[in-house]
Amino acid sequence: MKKIIVNADDFGRHELINQAVERAFNAGCLKSATLMAGGVAFDDAVKLAKKISGLGVGIHFTLANGNSVLPPKEIPTLVTEEGVFHGDYIKFLKRYLSGKISLSEVRSELAAQLEKISRAGLKLTHFDSHQHLHHVPGITEITLKLAEAAGINSMRVANTKLFDGELDSLGKFLGRLGLGSLAKFAAHLAHKKNFATPEHFAGIVAGESVSEKFMLNLIENLQDGTTEVMLHPGTDNKILKDFCQWEHNFEEELATVTSPKVLGLLAEKNISSINFAELIK
């Protein structure tokens, strides 16, 4: 049997992302989103999540390119002099590999992110992370323990395919190769703890957007089991590109998962669109 989980990352990062999640749920195949506890539109996202029955909400653990939940003075190795997380996963990993990141601070910050969402009254379906840092050895173990204690029993495995999207640079090739290897190890640890994971992952991880063409091809060639599609939809490219400092086509991804062609093909192929809560049933 073939199933698909379409998940919107960065829920709560900006109200225009939240609006896209609502539109994609109401008009499309998106049934899942992961919430950034430090996002400026967190409260708006929580309100929306409580309103939309059937939207599965997970936690988007964040250690780079965002805001912390704990005061910066409590996690000095994780933040810049300006009191925010370092700009991207590359900067984080350079510090991590050189011993400049405290795993104790990582544990405290991620626990605070979970606690904030719990206080908001949301029951979480799964976890993943911003820029896939939950796949980094040492951090994987922390996230699994925190999730287990919180009663979360599903995890994203970003086992990306080398040839999804453009391969126009050595950096993209090495990035996908490295992420795929780390994802396999993270999945091994998760399965030892009886976490459920989708069998396949189809998000494009090098910044390109998930286009209608990509999605139609994916559906035509969907493998047996459950496939997660990661995307970052939004309603206004100009505002979101400036806000996120990311050259990404947010609007295209929203159009893709609300496309009549995409929805029609899913129906024709009798492919169910689910969220992570249904993964473990």
The CATH number for 169's domain is 3.20.20.370
Question: Between 177 and 210, whose confidence is greater?
Answer: 210
Q: Please report, as a single letter, which amino acid is at residue 7.
A: N
Question: Helix, strand, or coil here: 205?
Answer: coil
d(CA 35, CA 127): 9
pLDDT for the residue 210: 92
Percent of the chain with pLDDT over 90: 85
pLDDT, tens digit, 9 for 90 and up, residues 21-80: 999 999 989 999 999 999 999 999 999 999 999 999 999 999 999 999 999 999 999 999
204 — pLDDT class (breaks 50, 70, 90): low
| Alpha helix stretches (DSSP H) within the chain | 15-27, 42-51, 89-97, 103-119, 139-149, 170-192, 212-220, 237-244, 250-257, 260-268, 276-279
Residues forming beta bridges with residue 34, ordered by sequence position: 58
Domain region containing 213: 2-279
Q: Quick one: pLDDT at residue 125? A: 97
Of the chain, the percentage scoring pLDDT greater than 70 comes to: 92
Per-residue model confidence as pLDDT tens digits over 101-120? 999 999 999 999 999 999 99
Give the bridge partners for 11, in sequence order.
35
Average the pLDDT over each of 62-66, 101-105, 155-159, 178-182 and give the range with the smallest value: 178-182
Q: For the chain, how many structural domains are there in total? A: 1
